[in-house]
A and B are shown apart, each in its own frame.
Chain A
C-alpha cells in the first residue's frame, strides 16, 4: 500500500466539442511527491487538474485518484483533496476566518474543530492579524495564501494548486513558495501547474512538460535539463539583430552543442559557456551583449517545442 500511486492516469483524454484539451496522457504521482505540470497557457494543464479534482469528467482513458474512480467516487475523493484554483474564489461576504470555517463545514468538520483549524492555518499562512477583517482589502499575495489555507482545512492527502503564484509580485511569490515548501517538508503531496520555470525548479521533485495537450517530457528538473539542454547557455544580442539573427546563427555554427536563433537573441548551448564566448570573439563577431548563465527548464521547453514558454 505504501507505494501505491495517489494519481494514476492512462491515455487520459478531455475534449470540449471538437477541441481536444488533453490528448492521451499517462502519469503516476506517488505519496509525498511534489509533482508539476509545466507548460504554456492552453497546454491542457488546468483541464487535467480539473479531472484530477473530480469536477470534470474524463472523455476517455483511465483515471484513478487515491485508488478510486473519480466518476463513481467523486464525493469520497474530493473529501480528501485540497484545491487551490487558478483564480481566487474566496467569499467576499465572509471574514477571513469565516472563509476557512465555512469551507470546513462542506467537509463535515465540526464547528469547534473548524475554528481550531482555521486559527492554526491562519497562523501558518501569516494572516492571523487579519482574521476578523474582510477579504476584499487583502493584497493578491494574501488572498493567495488564504486560498492555500482554505485548501488545507480538510487536512487533505493531496493538494492541487493551479498556477499558485501567477499574477503575484516577486516578494509575494517567494512567501507562497516558502509556505508550499513547508507543506512539502511535512510530507503533503503537492500537484501544481505552472508556466514559470523557476517555480517548477524550486518546488517540484518531478514534473512533466505539457504542450498541445500532450506530455512531451518527464523527469526531475535536473534530469530534464541534463537530457534536453547543456550545463550552460550563452545569450548573445547583436546590435543589428532582429532580422539578421539567423545569419549570425550560421556564422556561430559548430560552437557548443547547438545554436538557437530567437527573434531578439541567439542562444548558444554549451557545457563551458566562457570557452564558447572566446570562440565567438575568435570568429570576429562582436555581439552588443553577452550573458553566460546556467541552463533552465525554459531551455528544455524551447528545445522540445521550438517556442518560448511564457507568451
Chain B
C-alpha cells in the first residue's frame, strides 16, 4: 500500500510536466521585463570574473593547485561558472516560484487540472535549470574564448553545471515554500553571498584553518565549485564522486520536500 502511494506520488506524466514548462515559456515571451532579469543573472558572475579573476589575478600571478600551475583567472573562472549555475536556477525557484505560489495563485489554478504537485515541482525545476543552463553555456563560451578552459573541459563541465542547477534549484524551491514573506528573502540573499565568498571560489579552501575548511566542505556550493573546477581544469580525482553524490541528494531531496509542501499548502 505504502509503496503504491509513493509510486503514485512520484510517477509523472511528461505531457503535464511539459505543460508546466510551457506556461513559463509563454510568460517569458509575452513580458519584456523577464528578459531583463535573464540578462542580469548572466552578467553578474562575468563581471566578477573580469574584475577579480583578471584584475586581482594580475596582482596575484599564477598559483599552484593540486600540483598544477595555472593563472588566477583560470582558478576563479570555474567557480564563477558554478555560481552562475546556482544563481540562475535559484532566481527561478525562489523569487518567481514564490510569487506564483503565494501571490499569483498560479499553482492553485493548475492543481484544479489533472496536474499534480510533484509534476508542478518537476516542471518548475526543469524550467529553472533550462534558464540556468543558458547562462552557463554562454559563460563557458567566454571561458573558452579567453583561454581559461579547453573545449573538452567546457563540454565535460556543462553537464556538471546542469547538476548544480538541479541541486540548488530543488533546494531553493523547498526553501521558498517555507518563506513567510519577502523579508525572508534577504536572509536567503545573505546566505547565498556567504557561500559565494567562502566556497573555495577565490582561494583554495586549504588556505583556511582546518576547522573552517571542514565547515566549508559541508556546504553545498563548495561541492559545486570542486566538481566544476575539476572538470574545467582536467584535474579529476575520485573526490568528484562525493561532490556528485552530495548534489544529487540535494536535487532529489529538495524536489521531494518542495512537492510535499506545495501539496500541504494548496490541497487542504
Chain A residues engaging chain B, CB cutoff 8 angstroms:
16, 50, 53, 55-57, 74-76, 78-79, 81, 83, 85, 87, 89-95, 98, 102-103, 105-108, 150, 154
Contact = CB atoms under 8 A, between A and B. Distances in A.
Nearest to A93: B27
A74 B119 CA distance: 14
Nearest to A54: B112
Contacts of B26: 93-94, 98, 102
A76 B114 CA distance: 7
A66 B137 CA distance: 49
A56 B267 contact: yes
Contacts of B15: 108
B261 interface: no
Main secondary structure of the interface of B (DSSP, over half): helix
Given A89-B108, A103-B109, A55 B267 contact: yes
Nearest to B106: A91
Nearest to A78: B114
A78 B112 contact: yes
Contacts of A102: 19, 22-23, 26
A89 B113 contact: no
Contact of A85 (B109, B113, B114, B116): B109
A79 B116 CA distance: 12
Nearest to B108: A89
B242 interface: no
Contact of B267 (A57, A90, A106, A108): A57
A207 to B, nearest CB: 23
Given A55-B266, A83-B112, A105-B18, 19 more contacts: A16-B268, A53-B112, A55-B267, A75-B114, A78-B113, A79-B114, A85-B108, A85-B109, A89-B108, A92-B104, A93-B27, A94-B23, A94-B26, A102-B26, A103-B109, A105-B22, A106-B110, A107-B113, A108-B15
B244 interface: no
Contacts of B237: none
A9 to B, nearest CB: 18
7 contacts: A50-B268, A53-B112, A55-B111, A78-B112, A102-B22, A102-B23, A106-B110
Task: Across the A-B interface, give the 3 residue pairs with the lowest CB-CB distance, nearest first.
Answer: A93-B27, A89-B105, A106-B113
A81 B266 CA distance: 18
Contacts of B131: none
Interface in B26-40: 26-27, 30-31
A93 B96 CA distance: 12
A107 B27 contact: no
> Most A CB atoms within 10 A — which of B108, B109, B115?
B109
Nearest to A147: B109
The CB with the most chain A CB atoms within 10 A, among B106, B111, B112, B267, is that of B112
Nearest to A151: B112
Given A94-B27, A98-B30, A106-B16, A55 B106 contact: no
B104 A91 contact: yes
A267 B10 CA distance: 59
A150 B16 CA distance: 17
A56 B264 CA distance: 10
Contacts of B114: 75-76, 78-79, 106-108
Contacts of B22: 102, 105
Nearest to A56: B268
Contacts of B30: 93-95, 98
B110 A93 contact: no
Contact of B31 (A53, A89, A93, A106): A93
Interface string B104-143: 1110111111111000000000000000000000000000
B106 A89 contact: yes
B108 A103 contact: no
A75 B12 CA distance: 11
B105 A87 contact: yes
Contact of A81 (B19, B109, B112, B116): B112
Contacts of A105: 18-19, 22-23
Nearest to A82: B112
Nearest to B115: A106
Contacts of A89: 104-106, 108-109
Nearest to B113: A106
A90 B114 CA distance: 17
Contacts of B111: 55
Contact of B113 (A16, A92, A98, A103): A103
Interface string B168-191: 000000000000000000000000
A74 B113 CA distance: 9
Nearest to B105: A89
A89 B20 CA distance: 16
Contact of A55 (B16, B23, B31, B112): B112
Contacts of A75: 114, 116
Contacts of B104: 89, 91-93
A89 B105 CA distance: 6
A54 B31 CA distance: 33
